[in-house]
């Protein structure tokens, strides 16, 4: 006689199977090109990240109040104040950390999804680390070419680097440790994913590359070499994101690109000592380059 399962067990088995099948599509669909956030969340997070850029100036207000009691310092006076500049530079670190925390909360829904998965922090089969290294080196070489062709004017960044050795070293640290990750998560992570999901790759690439470059154009105007290099970097990073469907290759390119500049910042005083007797213009060219590409 054939033994059949007890009738009371059948609904439980069916329910379990149906639940597994229902959950599977959700797990499969969540990826960088089909994110668990929408365009409104991405836009508001980007807007919040831009607003946070004002925080370092706010951090410096107590110092200004104590240092310039009864006075109203001009912008030129504050720019020449090494302590004020140092406070501004240090203030970028908590701003970046806060930005990352908010971006993580939005993208993962407070940990419901894996950040590695929703951002694509892994290597695709069609793009490896050596591709990122090669692209970063190529972009840096082109940036040098832009500097040689167009020269450059003083920018806020160049003045920060000259203000004090401490400010220069902290800037070099930020350029590698926090800036690439923050900018990639906000622009090629949150913004690009939401735009592509809604409008497609072409509009997403144009919008994100323009937003990233546009913010830096305001910062580095009227340095033509710096603006051209930033625009080039922005387009390439966004195209890599569109081509690979992952954020990790973009982050690697950005970090290597900034890392080269950070090495130059750290080594600049020693290079200057060695080069002063040979060619003052060569060292000046290094400073022009630094003024344009550090994000």
Top-confidence residue, 227 or 290: 227
Q: pLDDT per residue over 127-165, tens digit each?
A: 999 999 999 999 999 998 988 888 767 777 888 888 899
pLDDT for 270 beyond 50 = yes
pLDDT band (50, 70, 90) for residue 278: low
pLDDT for 290 beyond 60 = no
Residue 12, number of CB atoms within 10 A of its CB: 9
Residue 82: the pLDDT is 94
Top-confidence residue, 9 or 228: 228
Distance in angstroms (rounded) separating the CA atoms of residues 68 and 81: 11
pTM, whole model, 2 decimals? 0.83
CB 173 within 8 A of CB 25: no
Distance in angstroms (rounded) separating the CA atoms of residues 293 and 225: 9
Give the angle 226-281-216 at the CA atoms, nearest 5°: 10
Residue 172: the pLDDT is 95
Top-confidence residue, 173 or 13: 173
Structure tokens at 42: 């991405």
Distance in angstroms (rounded) separating the CA atoms of residues 190 and 16: 35
CA distances from 250 to 88, 101, 124, 160, 246 (A): 27, 20, 12, 27, 8
Residue 258: the pLDDT is 95
Out of 15-29, 79-93, 114-128, 257-271, least confident range: 15-29
pLDDT for 259 beyond 90 = yes
Distance in angstroms (rounded) separating the CA atoms of residues 287 and 152: 9
Write b or e for each residue in 45-67: b if 16 or more Cβ atoms lie within 10 A of its Cβ, otherwise e: bbeebeebeebbeebbeeebeee
CB 177 within 8 A of CB 295: no
- Angle between helix 224-244 and 129-150 (nearest 10): 160
pLDDT band (50, 70, 90) for residue 284: low
């Amino acid at each position: 006689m054939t033994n059949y399962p007890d009738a009371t067990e059948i609904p439980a088995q069916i329910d379990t199977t149906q639940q597994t099948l229902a959950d599977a599509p959700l797990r499969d669909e969540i990826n960088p090109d089909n994110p668990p956030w929408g365009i409104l969340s991405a836009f508001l997070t980007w807007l919040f990240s831009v607003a946070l850029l004002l925080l370092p100036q706010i951090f410096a207000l107590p110092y200004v109040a104590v240092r310039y009691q009864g006075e109203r310092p001009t912008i030129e006076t504050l720019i020449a104040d090494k302590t004020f500049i140092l406070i501004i530079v240090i203030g970028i670190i908590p701003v970046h950390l806060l930005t990352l925390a908010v971006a993580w909360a939005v993208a993962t829904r407070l940990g419901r999804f894996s950040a590695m998965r929703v951002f694509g922090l892994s290597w695709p089969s069609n793009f490896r680390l050596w591709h990122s290294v090669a692209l970063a080196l190529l972009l840096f070489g082109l940036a040098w070419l832009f500097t040689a062709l167009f020269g450059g004017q003083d920018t806020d960044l160049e003045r920060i680097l000259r203000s004090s050795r401490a400010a220069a070293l902290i800037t070099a640290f930020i350029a590698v440790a926090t800036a690439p990750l923050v900018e990639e998560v906000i622009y090629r992570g949150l913004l690009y994913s939401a735009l592509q999901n809604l409008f497609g790759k072409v509009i997403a690439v144009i919008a994100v590359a323009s937003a990233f470059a546009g913010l830096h154009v305001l910062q580095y105007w009227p340095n033509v070499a710096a603006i051209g290099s930033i625009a080039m970097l922005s387009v390439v990073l966004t195209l890599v994101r569109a081509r690979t469907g992952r954020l990790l290759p973009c982050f690697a390119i950005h970090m290597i690109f900034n890392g080269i500049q950070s090495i130059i910042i750290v080594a600049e005083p020693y290079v200057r000592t060695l080069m002063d007797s040979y060619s003052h213009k060569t060292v000046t060219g290094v400073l022009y380059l630094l003024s344009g590409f550090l994000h």
